[in-house]
Structure 1
Amino acid sequence: MIIKPRTRGFICTTAHPKGCAAQVRQQIEYVQARPAIQGPRNALIIGASAGYGLAARIAAAFGAGANTIGIYRQGERSGRTASAGWYNSAAFEQAAQQAGLKSFSVTGDAFTDETKAKAVETIRRELGQVDLVVYSVATGRRTNPRTGETSTSVLKPIGKPYTNKTVNFHDGEVSLITLEPATEEEIQGTVDVMGGDDWQMWIDALREGGVLAPNATTISYSYIGPDITQAIYRQGSIGQAKDHLEATAKRLQEQLSHGGGRAYVTVGKALVTQSSSAIPVVPLYISALYKVMKEKGIHEGCIEQMYRLFADRLYSPESASVPVDEEGRIRIDDWEMRDDVQQEVAKIWEALTTDHIYDLTDLEGYRREFFQLFGFETDGIDYEAEVDPNVSIPNLN
């Protein structure tokens, strides 16, 4: 069949297998072209099919030669195509096998005890233990296996309504949006979904199953951002969840440090992801940020961020300890938050209108990266050619 993008708001309901595979190859080639990382031997990536999770798996495998197990939702073809995450994972598994690396996939809801048990058994059977655990789950709903309660996350300010500019990145229309504040119930729901509870449950399950190496490192991801996005992000409902995540990292650090283990939250830069595209205001900010960072030659995507995290922070041979900020967080948002970058972004923000959106920002680059998340608009792919949407994944558990 000929596969074209079909969008519904910030979601693309189709994905292109060859485009996804090409982008995975590009990330692998980026890592392979750089110095080897003296990193993990066996890595578990929870949320491994896209974004930071996929990039971390690629950095571990093709940068450090690690064997990997990826956890992600089932995404086989159920409609016109499979999910982009399914195609990404199939391409990764194929490349890893060709490189002589062990790699395995466990599909299912990461929040369930069943998926955790499958992961523990796979690690025990195939790798013995893991010395890196990356927690990169991003979703809007979670059912707690202990209580059976289902929580939903919201992207809202706290305390009072919030008004700012936003953009429809499909047509470039800039408008004002007002968001009503989250209720206490919505804030708690967001913390339940996107906080650190499930990360803690994963580490507990791995330790109880005897498959977590004593000196293991575990990381998860957060974002801080500039004044422009503070009310909707860091000071909003999702910010409460990130505060909980960071508190969990400190608790895990205390638990793991007795065996030489480590736990960190990594603060990354603003990137085009399925999650970020859903947050009002943020796509417009990213479009302005991309223009400034590209002009300064310091722009990074997921794979550049993850390679720098591994090579210069977590496993740097030049540093005896991991550099962290006053809250114990690893900061790879340092280039985004440079004063010169933020000053230029703020100037652009003040002048932004629909009439000037393409002159003042890199909205076209944002839109292209959005479609690339689903395998479209990728160089070297003939999108007029028929392609088989049915792709299998080897070593699927």
Structure 2
Amino acid sequence: MIQVEPKVRGFLCTTAHPLGCLAHVEAQRQVVEQGFDRGQHPLLPAGPEARPTKVLIIGGSAGYGLASRITCALGYGADTLSVAMEKPARGVKPASAGWYNNFHFEQIARQKKLYAESIDGDAFSDTIKQQTIATIKAHMGEVDLVVYSLAAPRRTVVTESGEQRSFSSAIKPIGQAYSGRTIDTKSGTLTDFHLESASHTEIEHTVAVMGGEDWYLWMKALSDADVLSANVKTVAFSYLGGDMTKAIYGAATLGAAKEDVEYHCDRINRLLGESSVAQPLAQSPQATVAVLKAIVTQSSAAIPSLPLYISVLYKVMKQKGLHEGCIDQIVRLFQTGLYPDGRTEGALCQMDKPFRFRLDELEMRADVQQDVARLWSEVDESNLHQVTDVASYQQDFLRLFGFEWPSIDYQQAVEVAL
């Protein structure tokens, strides 16, 4: 047993607290249970097509993927299988936060007599795809929802000639260099940065890693293996941003990758529409993209400018009573978008394209963006903690790794090998 402390390097935390990760999962569990009749499965509409029952989450160990898994299992009573590259504890070195998240979630799900397993490995690889298909056939039969929430800096593919080709993403502007400010995650101070314009190769690589091709390959492999139900749905998560983040996101390599996700969403809809395992497309597409709001994740911490933007955004949205966290966004997506049950107050989730949900509509409200822009222009090192909510940003970041939870005594030694 050892005492586990956070070790932050750049935008990464290299340690995770096993009991803190349980607190992280439990906090999301409480939100789901409150949204679904306090732990009792909701009065579900008739017919399996009205709710998820067997769910595959690609990238289900953290962030929006983990929130989706918790929502599906504890809100709808669904069996879940997650695929993610996580690491168990080794000696006195803690496991990755995602590994602990999976462990604790599975304990909760199994107590409710739900199937819940995780496959640790490279979700981009054909080997893991085939292992996942074999697991579905053996334990689930088929799946009726596929959530694609994969975030990784690199991807390796095998070409038709059998050679391996590796791609590495580059977070850069397109067309011209960009200089800006961000928040150092460890110190909570303002720092300057400068990025040169992305090369054609860097754009290509970023699209290959963060675009939609792998999502399409997953759906094709699952379809070919006949493990998709006739009423299958699939959703990928995205972010668009507004003028404040355009230079580093919307009009940058990340924006190109998100456009590629939508291109492949259309390909998946055509694939499922033509497949013998799926019904022809009717009024709504089977593959959708959910554009979500900016929140603190391991991925967003790596994007220059976004930590500062999120800190200002949190300040504004909390003051206006509009703030939603990761789990709040996902519960709303499921209840008003993917599986609207008619009992949720308010209108259905907004859609600006036949296949695209907009869960960022509150962030993109004109008054919100105007206030964010005003505070952005005012912030400096002397007023950072008054103008922004940097304290919440840092706390939310550390909570991803099991730290900063008030219920945990971090002075106590814990067993890291669960």
TM-score (norm 1): 0.95
Aligned residue for 2:367? 340
Aligned residue for 2:282? none
> Within 2, Cα distance between the matches of 1:216 and 1:346?
41
The amino acid that maps onto 2:21 is: C
Q: Which residues of 2 match residues 8-19 of structure 1 at below 5 A?
A: 8-19=9-20
Superposed displacement of residue 164, structure 1: 2.0
The amino acid that maps onto 2:180 is: N
Superposed displacement of residue 116, structure 1: 0.6
> Within 2, Cα distance between the matches of 1:318 and 1:241?
34
1:81 is the counterpart of 2:94 = yes
Aligned residue for 1:31? 32
Aligned residue for 2:411? 384
SS in 2 for 1:154: coil
Superposed displacement of residue 324, structure 1: 2.0
SS in 1 for 2:82: strand
> Within 2, Cα distance between the matches of 1:318 and 1:101?
25
SS in 1 for 2:414: coil
Moved more, 314-323 or 21-30: 314-323
Q: Is the 8 A contact 1:172 1:357 kept in 2?
A: no
| Cα pair distance change 1:370/1:136, threshold 3 Å | same
Aligned residue for 2:117? 104
> Within 1, Cα distance between the matches of 2:263 and 2:395?
36
> Within 1, Cα distance between the matches of 2:132 and 2:189?
45
Q: Is the 8 A contact 1:43 1:133 kept in 2?
A: yes
Superposed displacement of residue 322, structure 1: 7.2
Which ranges of structure 2 fall in alignment gaps of 5 or more residues? 37-41, 45-49, 280-284
> Within 2, Cα distance between the matches of 1:145 and 1:137?
19
Q: Is the 8 A contact 1:28 1:62 kept in 2?
A: yes
> Within 1, Cα distance between the matches of 2:387 and 2:322?
18
Aligned residue for 1:52? 64
Aligned residue for 2:7? 6
- The CA RMSD measured in Å over matched residues stands at 1.7
The amino acid that maps onto 1:331 is: R
Aligned residue for 2:336? 312
> Within 1, Cα distance between the matches of 2:414 and 2:377?
45
Render the CA deviation track for 1:358-396: whole Å, top value 9, x for unaligned: 0000000000011001000012001011100002xxxxx
Q: Which residues of 2 match residues 345-364 of structure 1 at below 5 A?
A: 345-364=372-391
Moved more, 248-257 or 302-311: 248-257
Q: Is the 8 A contact 1:206 1:212 kept in 2?
A: yes
Aligned residue for 2:269? 253
| Cα pair distance change 1:207/1:125, threshold 3 Å | same
> Within 2, Cα distance between the matches of 1:321 and 1:121?
36
> Within 2, Cα distance between the matches of 1:343 and 1:300?
19
Which ranges of structure 1 fall in alignment gaps of 5 or more residues? 392-397
The amino acid that maps onto 1:74 is: E
| Equivalent residue in structure 2 for 1:209, among 225, 237, 241 | 225
TM-score (norm 2): 0.91
The amino acid that maps onto 1:242 is: K
Superposed displacement of residue 72, structure 1: 1.0
Aligned residue for 2:47? none
Q: Which residues of 2 match residues 362-373 of structure 1 at below 5 A?
A: 362-373=389-400
Q: Is the 8 A contact 1:215 1:256 kept in 2?
A: no
1:122 is the counterpart of 2:103 = no
Q: Is the 8 A contact 1:172 1:354 kept in 2?
A: no
1:271 is the counterpart of 2:295 = yes
> Within 2, Cα distance between the matches of 1:114 and 1:328?
30
> Within 1, Cα distance between the matches of 2:115 and 2:149?
21
| Cα pair distance change 1:354/1:169, threshold 3 Å | farther
Q: Is the 8 A contact 2:9 2:186 kept in 1?
A: no
Superposed displacement of residue 89, structure 1: 0.3
Render the CA deviation track for 1:328-375: whole Å, top value 9, x for unaligned: 311101111111111111110010101110000000000001100100
The amino acid that maps onto 2:230 is: P
Superposed displacement of residue 3, structure 1: 0.4
Render the CA deviation track for 1:174-214: whole Å, top value 9, x for unaligned: 24322100000000000111111111111111111111112
> Within 1, Cα distance between the matches of 2:299 and 2:77?
29
Superposed displacement of residue 327, structure 1: 6.3
| Cα pair distance change 1:168/1:269, threshold 3 Å | same
Q: Which residues of 2 match residues 96-175 of structure 1 at below 5 A?
A: 96-146=109-159, 148-175=164-191
Render the CA deviation track for 1:287-324: whole Å, top value 9, x for unaligned: 00001111112211111011000001111033999752
Superposed displacement of residue 120, structure 1: 0.4
The amino acid that maps onto 2:52 is: P
Render the CA deviation track for 1:65-122: whole Å, top value 9, x for unaligned: 1100011113111462100000000000000001111111111100111111111011
Superposed displacement of residue 170, structure 1: 2.8
Render the CA deviation track for 1:109-162: whole Å, top value 9, x for unaligned: 001111111110111111110000001110100001335200000100001111
> Within 2, Cα distance between the matches of 1:163 and 1:32?
44
1:219 is the counterpart of 2:232 = no
Superposed displacement of residue 9, structure 1: 0.7
